[in-house]
Amino acid sequence: MLLTDLPSWKKLQAHRQTWNDVRMRELFRSDPGRFGRFSIQLDDFLLDYSKNLINDETLALLRQLGEEANVPAWTDAMFSGEKINFTENRAVLHVALRNDPKRPIMVDGHDVMPGVVQVLEQMRRFAHAVREGKWRGHTGKVITDIVNIGIGGSDLGPMMVCRALKPYGNARINMHFVSNVDPNHVGDTLDDLNAESTLFIVSSKSFATLETLANAKIARRWLVERLGSDLAVSRHFVAISTNEEAVKAFGIDPENMFVFWDWVGGRYSMWSAIGLPIALYIGMDQFEEMLGGARDMDEHFRADPLSSIPGTLALLSIWYQHFWDAPSHAIFPYDIHLSRLPAYLQQLCMESNGKSTTRLGEKVNYPTGEIVWGEPGSNGQHAFFQLLHQGTRFVPTDFMLAAVTSHPFEGLHQMLVANCFAQSEALMLGKTEEEALAELKAEGANEDAIRLLLPHKTFPGNKPSNTMLYQKLTPRTLGRMIALYEHKTFVQSALWSINAFDQWGVEIGKRLSSVLIRELGEDKAVTTHDASTNGLCDHFQKLKGDKVFPPAES
Ligand code: G6Q
């Protein structure tokens, strides 16, 4: 049955009508236990979801909806290795990558855990050798720079985590991430590197992605030119893939290859060998801490999917998206180390749930897939927060912050925390006309000024937000947080009756450009497309001429 046909849907529609005149500030005033009732704690990790437009009845109805959509049964199916990614005939087992190795998970009659453990051990040996300076470059130099070449799921996770866990990073090792086929990406990166001490990781599940292979070829040529021998490749290139043949064909020795499996989706793969850059940077013990954090969240989720942290956030998102007309969801980490988290979650959520066909092959008759966006605070406050406070859009928000920072400069962290709390408070409270008037009077404004300014100085408030507060952004905490959003995304997909684990929209993009790549390389007008595309090709060819842009002057 589709979401809108479930019995609780109609009840939620009726329930929504009771919310038209409800003010969250009044709910807090009348109920001192609200924070306690609407918050969940997993060790130090607290989710405060009390600043939402909900009461006990709302939550009960949403949970009922989740039961009717069979969320618990879908959860069991995923954890037990059923092929729930049915359009690709694959199991969905990122949870196996952080599972207790003693708990078997079967796919096609085989336990996947021994393979998982074997790759983790290989990663441990390699990370140790590089970090201890035992793995050296072709000329005997220790590795100081690591370049991950990959895109999408083979880039965003490791990049986001390496930034997030900088305080845990090896001081000798600089991490670089090349993803874009824009030549400036690989070019600017290589400009600053010494081939003798650089290690490249070519990271691609399919080993067929145009951007990655093109950048990897440039990097290999750059290396061989500088070190004067093809033999250097084996000390400076490793590959992560599911496709051994393609890795061999590229010229990387399978000895230097780390495998993973088709049951790991690209955007769910940072826990697999795709996480090798993370392990090289923070060490394997800390990498396993991160896996442990994800396992904590897996267990918490699995025990009671609809009352868990991820389940609650998913149900709230359904409430706002369908009953409050909120197509987007903002992510505001008050932590500069999490600056790439919004981009990471954009892929996780929008690639997973950006679908309009149900599991039964029908078109959905309701919106799916939140538009995820965000930036770290407090920067956002000086930019787009205005729209949240006084604009016409309704944007539910997640804030996240740590109680302890790795740079305890006097007072700064407290200011950051205060800013974060103040924003969620202001979004919830708003400012009434009476309050704005009192302020203007206290400032000594005359009657004319009051008439002019009063409507502009009031704030509607009643804007929902969730806050995640934890002690410190450790590998374990980060693992918990990412697994949380994975499971939130999964619960949403179960409610929307869609397959969160395929990505045909990405596949089409991979094919579409190949015709144009060929045509743009030919010395004749492009005429096979619509007038706009032909016109753009024509203008490009005129503008480009034979010009190669000179490097910027130093
Ligand atoms: C992830 C997507 C996509 C993928 C990239 C790279 O879930 O499928 O972002 O990760 O297109 O693919 P490869 O790893 O195969 O190069």
Distance (Å, rounded) from C-alpha 470 to C-alpha 480?
A: 11
Are the C-beta atoms of residues 468 and 47 closer than 8 Å to each other?
Answer: yes
**In this structure, which residue's CA is closest to atom 1 in ligand 1?**
266
Q: Catalytic site residue 217? A: no
Residue of 288, 351, 370, 375 with catalytic role: 351
Q: Catalytic site residue 351? A: yes
What tens digit of pLDDT does each residue of 182-216 get?
999 999 999 999 999 999 999 999 999 999 999 99
106 φ, ψ (degrees, to nearest 5) = -100, 135
Q: Establish whether residue 267 lines the binding site of ligand 1, counting it when its CB lies within 6 angstroms of any ligand atom.
A: yes
User: 3-state DSSP call for residue 138?
Assistant: coil
Task: For residue 274, report the distance from its CA to the centre of ligand 1, in Å.
Answer: 11
What tens digit of pLDDT does each residue of 346-371 get?
999 999 999 999 999 999 999 999 99
Q: Residue 554: its pLDDT value, please?
A: 41
Are the C-beta atoms of residues 132 and 172 closer than 8 Å to each other?
Answer: no
169-to-79, 172, 281, 291, 330 alpha-carbon distances in Å = 32, 9, 5, 17, 28
Of the candidates 438, 433, 435, 430, the one whose C-alpha atom is nearest the C-alpha of residue 460 is 430
Task: For residue 154, report the distance from its CA to the centre of ligand 1, in Å.
Answer: 6
> Among 167-171, 299-303, 420-424, 547-551, whose mean pLDDT is lowest?
547-551
Q: Which residues pair with 507 in a beta bridge?
A: none
Q: Which single residue is written with the structure tokens 């996240």?
A: 400
Task: Taking residues 297-320, report their average pLDDT.
Answer: 98
Is the pLDDT assigned to residue 136 strictly greater than 90? yes
Distance (Å, rounded) from C-alpha 226 to C-alpha 539?
A: 37
Q: From the alpha carbon of 265, which atom of ligand 1 is closest?
A: 7
Q: Establish whether residue 151 lines the binding site of ligand 1, counting it when its CB lies within 6 angstroms of any ligand atom.
A: yes
**Which two structure tokens, joined as six digits, stand for 533?**
């595309």
Indicate the top mutation candidate among 87, 156, 206 to test ligand 1's pocket, ranked by most ligand atoms within 8 A of CB.
Answer: 206
Is the pLDDT assigned to residue 551 strictly greater than 70? no
Are the C-beta atoms of residues 488 and 317 closer than 8 Å to each other?
Answer: yes
What tens digit of pLDDT does each residue of 54-113 get?
999 999 999 999 999 999 999 999 999 999 999 999 999 999 999 999 999 999 999 999
DSSP string for residues in 441-479: HHTT--HHHHHHHHHHH-B-----EEEEEES---HHHHH
